[in-house]
């Protein structure tokens, strides 16, 4: 996501028009059209562009070129391209340049952290692969390549994901859901619960990915630590004595602020209803009672909670967690 520009939109409570087209990202399509707006989400096969007229999804197959307004965005784009080509040293250099321009740029920081660990451990991983290949050759008289796309290979990856991380995945309506979490597993220790949606791995959104692609990211041998974003929906009890003058903290035991990524939980009372429902400091609130908060001013979010006729408010939260593979 284009975090900085998206945050500006949320703070002002308006669309791309408020930022002005001079500050917009540009998509050039194969048929010669030029689309201006802000790229707020990017998936494997499409991007979501926020424009003056609302959000539109643009398939990557129709895109000839994308240019971002900020130079650090373009450097991250180059880094991701190098990463996809497995040119990890070049990708690392691009991420480093982007972070030099903007030390708070999350996408660049996450990319550097991942590649730093990846490159450090890649040599050891290569040694293990060589030993494994040699054992197969000695056992069979020749190396037999596995078909990674067949059912047996997929089942093997699913079993390894369960064994090393403690999670079982399933796809539901294009969203990857964590169906089961093994007790005392890495996932359980990280706070993952059954029913959580796995929305990103090292900043890469998992929407529209195949399960096998996601497991490949989770099982990438040199990367022992895995930074993921999960999403869950929780109901928080609201103090029935609420009124317009009540503070949000007095209503549910939590405070909110508009931070870099959007509407964020800034404080949680350990004995309040919010803590009991599972809210944590740093959680990103992506929806309240089903209404997306992406372009919602904080006063509107507070007003929704205070004006609610229900005894609870339903929060959709996005949280970053770290899992460690136990190979």
**222-233 confidence digits (pLDDT tens):** 667 889 999 999
Helix%, strand%, coil% for the chain, nearest 5: 40, 30, 30
What is the pLDDT at residue 131?
47
* Tens-digit pLDDT profile for residues 65-107: 888 877 888 888 888 888 878 888 888 888 889 888 888 888 8
Boundaries of every domain in the chain: 3-107, 232-322
For the CA atoms of 24, 27, 28, 32, the dihedral, rounded to the nearest 10 degrees, stands at -80
Residue 162: the pLDDT is: 93
pLDDT over threshold 90, residue 248: no
CATH of domain 3-107: 2.30.30.100
pLDDT at residue 22 greater than cutoff 50: no
Query: How far out from the chain centre does Cα 83 lie?
Result: 17
Which pLDDT does position 123 carry in this prediction? 58
CA distance linking residue 34 with residue 27, whole number of Å = 6
pLDDT of residue 221: 62
Give the N- to C-terminal CA distance of the chain in Å, as an integer. Answer: 31
138-152, pLDDT tens digit by residue?
Answer: 444 444 444 444 677
Residue 164 pLDDT: 92
- Residue of 98 and 23 predicted with greater confidence: 98
Say how far apart CA 221 and CA 311 lie, in whole Å. Answer: 47
| CA 20 to centroid of chain Cα atoms | 27
How high is the pLDDT of residue 18?
Answer: 37
pLDDT value of residue 233: 96
How many helices, marked H, and strands, marked E, lie in the chain? 11, 15
Least confident range from 83-92, 169-178, 210-219, 220-229: namely 220-229
Closest to 54 (Cα-Cα) out of 14, 12, 4, 2? 14
Answer yes or no: is pLDDT of 288 > 80. yes
Beta-bridged to residue 109, according to DSSP, are none
- Domain at 232-322: CATH code: 2.30.42.10
Per-residue pLDDT of 186-199, as tens digits, reads 999 999 999 999 99
pLDDT of residue 161: 93
Would you state the pLDDT for residue 5? 39
Longest CA–CA span in the chain (Å) reads 78
For residue 304, the model assigns a pLDDT of: 85
Percent of the chain with pLDDT over 70: 80
Beta-carbon count within 10 A of 48 CB: 18
pLDDT at 241 over 90: no
């Amino acid at each position: 996501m284009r975090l900085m520009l998206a945050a500006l939109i949320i703070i002002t409570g308006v669309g791309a028009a408020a930022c002005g087209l001079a500050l917009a990202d540009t998509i050039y399509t194969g048929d010669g059209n030029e689309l201006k707006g802000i790229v707020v989400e990017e998936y494997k096969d499409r991007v979501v562009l926020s424009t003056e007229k609302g959000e539109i999804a643009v398939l990557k197959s129709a895109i000839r070129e994308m240019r971002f307004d900020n130079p650090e965005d373009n450097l991250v784009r180059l880094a991701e391209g190098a990463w996809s080509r497995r040119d990890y040293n070049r990708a690392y250099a691009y991420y480093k340049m982007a972070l030099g321009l903007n030390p708070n740029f999350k996408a660049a920081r996450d990319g550097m952290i991942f590649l730093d660990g990846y490159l450090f451990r890649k040599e050891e991983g290569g040694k293990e692969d060589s030993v494994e290949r040699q054992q197969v050759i000695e056992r069979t008289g020749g190396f037999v390549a596995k078909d990674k796309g067949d059912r047996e290979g997929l089942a093997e990856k699913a079993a390894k994901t369960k064994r090393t991380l403690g999670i079982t995945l399933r796809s539901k309506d294009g969203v990857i859901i964590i169906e089961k979490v093994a007790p005392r597993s890495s996932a359980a220790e990280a706070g993952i619960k059954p029913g959580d949606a796995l929305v990103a791995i090292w900043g890469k959104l998992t929407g529209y990915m195949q399960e096998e692609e996601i497991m490949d990211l989770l099982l990438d041998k040199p990367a022992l630590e895995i930074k993921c974003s999960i999403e869950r929906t929780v109901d928080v009890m609201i103090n029935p004595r609420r009124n317009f003058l009540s503070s949000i903290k007095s209503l549910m035991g939590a405070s909110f602020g508009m931070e870099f990524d959007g509407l964020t939980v800034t404080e949680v009372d350990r004995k309040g209803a919010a803590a009991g429902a599972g809210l944590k400091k740093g959680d990103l609130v992506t929806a309240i009672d089903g209404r997306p908060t992406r372009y919602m001013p904080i006063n509107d979010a507070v007003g929704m909670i205070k004006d609610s006729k229900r005894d609870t408010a339903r929060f959709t939260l996005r949280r970053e967690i770290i899992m460690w593979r136990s190979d």
